[in-house]
Amino acid sequence: GFVDTFRGWGRSLALTGVDRTARQWLDVLTTALTLAAPLWLLFVGIATPVTALLVLIRLGTLIGTARTYERRGPGYWLSPLADLLVWFVVVRGVVSPSREWRGRQY
């Protein structure tokens, strides 16, 4: 379900145990500036040329990858709205990495 996905994502996306901590925080900063922030800054009325360009790049990526998905429902087209949630999950994975796999704690 959603809770299991939320817990497991952070471990997978943050790459804890694979990348050094400094690299993980650089990834957090990069994804904050390129994925999480631009769309939400536009929503709250902070529109700069950079945020507009980053949103256009995100939408271009969405359009460019659309043909690889057989069924593209509303969830696909609305997926940029989930970027902020995904960013929080990555941060959670860096700050508090999960040590659980298949029900076992490590």
pTM over 0.85, yes/no? no
Instruction: Specify the pLDDT at position 16.
Output: 58
Instruction: Specify the pLDDT at position 92.
Output: 83
- Coarse DSSP helix, strand, coil percentages of the chain, rounded to the nearest 5 percent: 75, 5, 20
Distance between CA 27 and CA 7 in Å, rounded? Answer: 19
Per-residue pLDDT tens over the stretch 76-87: 999 898 888 888
Low-confidence ranges of the chain (pLDDT < 70): 1-2, 4-19, 97-106
Instruction: Specify the pLDDT at position 2.
Output: 65
